[in-house]
Structure 1
Amino acid sequence: MPRPVTVGLNGTPASLAAAAWGAREASIRHLPLRLVSAWEWQPYSHAPLSGTEMPEQWSRRLPEEAAAQLTHRFPDLDISTKQLTGPPPEMLCREAAEAELLAIGTAGLGALTGFLMGSVAMATVAHTHRPVVLVRPEGTPPPADDADLAQRVQEVERRDTGGPVVAGIDLGPTTDGVLRFAFEAAAVRSGDLRIVYSWNPPVGYVQGIGGDLRWRADIAAEGASMVRSLLEPWSKKYPGVPVSERAEIGSPARHLVEAGARASLVVIGRRTNRYWPREPRIGHVAHAVLHHSPAPVAVVPQD
């Protein structure tokens, strides 16, 4: 049985954007879509609900209403819903373990200020061992109660149609997982793939302006050669995916955010620690990209 594309919903415009993205992704990958919401009982909680509706009822209604709207846009898509009881990060990680990928929404604050990363999103990204895609709504979202999923789907399709997949690599242990996910994402979109490899040399690596320029050129050429060698077997596996690469000196996060400004998807890696699994880490580059990339960001964990 194929793994589904799973989307976590919490009733915000950002989560509706994630639902639209997840539906589109499930459709082009020919996978089922699963919409989930998590409800955790909290004493003395005051949920912003109307009338006499209880938080548990509201949580159950979210995926059902989103599924009904998405069915009109994707009539052939196998959509299921699920309401979970427990801490949202824990529940989302559990669902991600059975999914091809997990999509969750984050609030957008603009290209300069980036994402408003909530505690649920950060905890889920840091703990899950499956790819997680962070999606934010484009433009100014309407109020959650009046949001139209059809509009979100149109935004996703517009970005997917015109933008390449951008992948950031570091030639480290996360590279294989990032490239596998990025090539597959570009292939299902029939789009281009752009590889970004950048690094900051140690302070004092070279001395003098002339020496600095020569060393920069030499290091960039050496980096480009390593990247091309790394990409060769993947290009053979995905011959229909046009690939370009950039090897530059400078901030990896800045280069990735710039390259992903018009991308359909940005793919980055996250190193997991098999020896200390209870001490998850996101990494400073991934953290910066998650906060500032205007495009959806896929975080691929790998030992």
Structure 2
Amino acid sequence: MKFIEAKEIADYTPYAALVDALECAFSSSFESPKRAHYEVGEGGSTMLVMPCWVDDDCFGLKAVSVVPLNAERGLPTVSGIYQLFDAKDGRLLALMDAAELTARRTAAASALASRYLSRADSKRLLMVGTGKLAPYFIEAHAAVRGLEEVYIYGRDQAKMQATCEAVQHLGLDARPVGNLPDAAANADIISSATTSKTPIVLGEWLRKGVHLDLVGAYKPDMREVDGTAVSKASVFVDTHDGVMGEGGDILQAIGEGVFTEADIKADLASLCMGKHEGRSSAGEITLFKSVGAAIEDFAAAKLVYAGASLAAL
């Protein structure tokens, strides 16, 4: 049994390979029961339990805690463990750091969606939010699109600057921005990863052809965009059941009567299997809403395990 720490997980999951692994996984026949979601402790803390398996190969289980107040304590928001088992004999093959695995697979899922939904000539990314995930999303999006400029928006100037420095190695023109409406109106891709309960990005700011990547708002009472943004966009989701259970941006737009469940164009599996073409025109506004899926963890864990096994030879 291997114990695989965060540094190794990063080493074994370069984004180009990880995005391909997710695409292959979403194209496969997999089983992923609805994740168990429990409110625990104080301050909106959550425990998630996510199983997944493919045929008789392997099966995996992720158990994580999400504690928003940890950001104020200088502690990680997400902590947990991923367990990978051999499905034939039940042996525990590996234990992995779930926080790093989750961060990388979440960013890779957004990049995978961007392959189908953002314009191929996208050059400018606006990153909304300066938490731990921000550099992951910038690097993942840069792996599938020829980005040149990155605008970084957050509430804290020091964190915006730190995010810029964290992605310097990518060779991008990354800089903090103070005027969010102007930055949004100039962006080709807008990626938002916050825990906001009120809209940050407004539909009236969006120009034709922009792609929205919404990865925060993982509870029904959270939202990062207003109903106008949702109603103006062609909406795609990572998984239908997950978003309809937890995706606050979509659920609140439905509650306002500006969007319906039937308006969702497709999920990632449909895109990867060619059942939907994705973006249909250069001027189309596209929106990808993600709340996380166990198949993403499973695909990433298998890639990590393969890398660790090769390294041991």
> Could you tell me the TM-score, scaled by structure 1's length?
0.27
Q: Which of 1 and 2 has greater Rg? A: 1
> Could you tell me the TM-score, scaled by structure 2's length?
0.26
